[in-house]
Chains A and B, each alone.
Chain A
Amino acid sequence: MQYIPNILFIIALAAGVGYFTFNIRKIIRNIKLGHQVDASDNTSERWGNVVRIALGQSKMVVRPIPGLLHIIVYVGFIIINIEVLEIIIDGIFGTHRVLSTVLPIGLYNFLIASFEILALLVLVGVILFWTRRNIQKLKRFWANEMKGWPKNDANYILYFEMVLMILFLTMNAADQQLQTLGATHYVEAGSYPVSKFIVPFFSNFSETTLIAIERGAWWLHILGILVFLNYLYFSKHLHIILAFPNVYFGKVVPKGKFKNLDSVTKEVKMMMDPNVDPFAAPAEGANQAPAKFGASDVMDLSRFQLLNAYTCTECGRCTSECPANITGKKLSPRKIMMDTRDRLEEIGKNIDKNGEFKPDGKQLLDDYITREELWACTTCNACVEACPVSIDPLSIIMDMRQYLVMEQSAAPTELNVSMTNIENNGAPWPYNQMDRLNWKDEN
């Protein structure tokens, strides 16, 4: 009978980790719907980016206040995880504060004290985040695409973190009082600079009540963490994991460099080669359907672009720097990312249900992202620069423009005119090519 808590714990842990793994595999499967990207170049620069941008949060602090708050919550989150390790060992083996028996007591006390201080800081940080969102109502959190689920999602995450921190401190406070009472199993260990202020509230409680509070908080805390872990998949909060690979795969060439389509290069070279035989039979193996130009749905995007979509945490820094969005156009780079993820999830569910993707008469273009949004972009790279985790919304916009122009000939009329001009007279305006040097003789 005495092993029932251990068994229950192992079951909860296995279920939590198992379901999370199940969903992560689904994400990987969905991302693999995109075409492969080659990121074997610039390995050292890529790792440097991971260290600087992802671990070091270098782009977060471009905006100092949210940047600093985010660093507090982030550092707190990572370091408090050492405590979770102890909780897991205790849970499996039925020990109590096992690290205090392994580590020198001074170090253990130091660790617990720093967890407590960080927990308090995280609590304060999260409350301030909540205030910025709900009281101060910062504009970027109240844009059109943030209605409904995205808005609630953001708040749920904050509530989760608040509750977890309060449970952690409550558990420690009850533990201290039990240590003072000399309850069996409660070894004297730890230093509690924050939760000691909660202890007075527990001073009249009996040992049984205290054990109930301590155990209750302990169980809720770890179950809460497992639930939160599994909440990630359904939430924008996946960035805590995906930010790292996303930054690794991020663009390492100048932002102004857009990729050249190889399929087009082949065609153009053939056109310009006077020795090419126009009636030649296609080479062996070359008779597969020509690649589609650009993107109309998520399968036409790259795996990096799809990873971008899962990584986006909807902070809206991109949108708040976007010249089109600032001046009231429909385009919002954040919405491009959210739409891409929503469509990818829809296709994922379709595959879950049918075993393979069954055409559903929908696509990313028009059903999610409108042409008006795509044509409002100035390709200025402000969104790419603003993203703290190296997401590239511009590349999706460009791929979709390519589809519109090259597959559908659906450019805005004025652009068709200027492209015709480029074709006919080598400039976007209808000037005579022979007048190109006229400036030389003008005053």
Chain B
Amino acid sequence: MAEYMAQGKKPEVLFWVGCAGSFDDRAKKITKAFVKLLNKANIDFAVLGTEESCTGDPAKRAGNEFLFQMQAMANIEVLNGYEIKKIVTACPHCFNTIKNEYPGLGGNYEIMHHTQFLKSLMEEGRLKVEGGKFKGKRITFHDPCYLGRANGEYEAPRELLQKLEVELVEMKRCKSRGLCCGAGGAQMFKEPEPGKKDINVERTEEALETAPKIIAAACPFCNTMMTDGVKAKSAEDSVQVLDVAEMIANAEDL
């Protein structure tokens, strides 16, 4: 982004990569797949790079409002400094925080989840996807809490999957009643409380009941949780966990 600014240019959209997308080896693949799609659609985009910092979501959900607002205001300073208007992110947690909690602190942006953004690109005809290698494959979609229930977006990822002409099978608990993967509320960063089962295993069992080839996700944390769940059920040879953006990119071997 700094380079854009130096050249006096403004990108069409800022890609907010997020911590997982920047550092986590699995999530980096989602980042790269999404970037391939942005390039394919000739989107003029920028990233903040080393000037991006955690949105503060895990801090806030863990109860540390002070740390959250420190992070939020520092990020807002950077974003406003670059006069950012439109942001896209592949992480529903970043999406939710920037969309709902930044405006009250002076950060007003048009923010889209990457599934919403890709959907709009297809509607505008800037990105074309038809069938490809997932055509007819049995696929189930796991709703991220912070995209679905938290922000009411259930259709964008499903419409993208329809475009890939997959056979979409829903789990018993889906959309507004979808079961959490177990990572939200900063659970990702701690051990679960004692119980009889891990949440991601419960959710993975439900996904496996639909006998899918692929469990589609739209959140890097859900992705990790479901991947671990599939491993715990020793199903990694027959079932893959993929982000919707990865599927679109893979469909055409980008």
Contact A439 B22 (CB under 8 A): yes
Chain A, 256-279, contact with B by CB distance < 8 Å: what is the 0/1 string? 111011001101110110000000
Q: In the complex the two chains form, is B19's CB within 8 Å of A381's CB?
A: no
Annotate B1-34 by CB proximity to A: 1 below 8 A, 0 otherwise: 0000000000000000101011110001001100
* CB–CB A256/B56 < 8 A: no
Interface stretch (choices B59-67, B156-164, B240-248): B59-67
- Of A92-100, A123-131, A281-289, A423-431, the one contacting chain B is A423-431
State the CA gap A272–B59 with chains docked (Å).
19
Cβ < 8 Å to B, chain A residues 403-430: 403-406, 411-412, 414-415, 417-419, 422-423, 426-429
A35 at the interface (CB under 8 A from B): no
- A323–B194 CB distance below 8 A: no
Distance in angstroms between the alpha carbons of A294 and B184 in the assembled complex: 20
Q: Is the CB of B195 within 8 A of A380?
A: no
Interface size in chain A (residues, C-beta < 8 A): 69
Nearest-CB residue, chain A, relative to B173: A321
Asked whether B199 lies within 8 Å of A427 as measured between CB atoms, the reply is no
Beyond A268-B70, A402-B65, A439-B21, whether A324 also contacts B179 by CB under 8 A is no
Instruction: Note all chain A residues with C-beta closer than 8 A to B187.
Output: 378
Tell me, in angstroms, the Cα distance from A272 to B78 when the chains sit together: 13
Binds B, one of A17-25, A306-314, A325-333, A340-348: A325-333
Point out the residue from A271, A372, A405 that lies within 8 Å of B193, measured CB to CB: A372
B64 and A255 form a contact (CB under 8 A): no
Let me know if A254 is at the binding interface, CB within 8 A.
yes
Residues of the B chain whose Cβ atoms lie less than 8 Å from the Cβ of A405 = 62-64
Question: How far apart are the CA atoms of A91 and B7 in the complex, in Å?
Answer: 87
Tell whether A415 pairs with B54 under 8 Å between CB atoms, given A378-B184, A427-B23, A439-B31.
Answer: no
Choice from B24, B191, B202 contacting A326 with Cβ under 8 Å: B202
- Min Cβ gap A261→B in Å is 5
Do B63 and A380 touch (CB < 8 A)? no
> Does A185 touch B at the CB level, under 8 Å?
no
Residues of A within 8 A of B21 (CB): 439
Do A433 and B53 touch across chains, with their CB atoms under 8 A apart? yes
State whether A256 and B63 are in contact (beta carbons under 8 Å apart), knowing that A377-B185, A418-B186 are contacts in the complex: no
Chain B nearest Cβ from A131, distance in angstroms:
25
Contact A442 B189 (CB under 8 A): no
- CB B204 to nearest CB in A, in angstroms, measures 12
The residue on B at minimum CB distance from A377 is B185
When A260-B69, A415-B62, A422-B67 are in contact, do A253 and B100 touch as well, CB less than 8 Å? yes
Contact B100 A433 (CB under 8 A): no
Q: Separation in Å of the B115 CB from the closest CB of chain A?
A: 16
Residues of A within 8 A of B146 (CB): 256
Q: In the complex, are the beta carbons of A428 and B176 less than 8 A apart?
A: no
Residues of A202-227 at the interface with B, using a CB-CB cut-off of 8 Å, are none
Interfacial chain A residues near B182, Cβ < 8 Å: 323, 327, 378
Does A368 count as interface, using CB distance less than 8 angstroms? no
Are A428 and B193 neighbours in the complex by a CB distance under 8 Å? no
A378 to B62, Cβ gap below 8 A?
no
Contact present for B104 and A260 (CB under 8 Å): yes
CB <8 Å contact, A415 and B195: no
**Contact status of A401 and B195, CB under 8 A, knowing A272-B73, A321-B177:** no
A254 touching B67 by the CB < 8 A rule?
no
Measured CB to CB, the nearest residue on chain A to B66 is A264
Contact A256-B100, Cβ < 8 Å, known A268-B73, A382-B177, A385-B176: yes
Q: Is A77 an interface residue (CB 8 A)?
A: no
Min distance, Cβ B202 to any Cβ of chain A, angstroms: 5
B49 touching A428, Cβ below 8 Å: no
Shortest C-beta distance, B7 to chain A (Å), equals 18
Q: How far is the CB of B27 from chain A (nearest CB, A)?
A: 9
A256, B50: Cβ atoms under 8 Å?
no
Q: Give min CB distance, B165 to chain A, whole Å.
A: 29
Contact of A418 among B58, B60, B99, B150 (CB under 8 A): B58
- The residues of B with any CB-CB pair to A shorter than 8 Å are 17, 19, 21-24, 28, 31-32, 47, 49-50, 52-54, 56, 58-67, 69-71, 73-74, 77, 96, 99-101, 104-105, 145-146, 149-152, 176-177, 179-180, 182-199, 201-203
Given A256-B96, A272-B73, A398-B61, 11 more A-B residue pairs with CB atoms under 8 Å apart are A327-B195, A327-B196, A375-B193, A378-B185, A398-B63, A412-B191, A426-B53, A427-B23, A439-B22, A439-B31, A442-B28
Q: 26 A-B residue contacts at CB 8 Å?
A: A254-B151, A256-B99, A256-B100, A260-B65, A260-B105, A261-B69, A265-B105, A268-B66, A268-B69, A272-B74, A326-B179, A328-B196, A330-B193, A375-B193, A379-B61, A384-B149, A411-B64, A412-B190, A415-B186, A415-B190, A419-B67, A427-B19, A428-B54, A436-B23, A437-B22, A439-B17
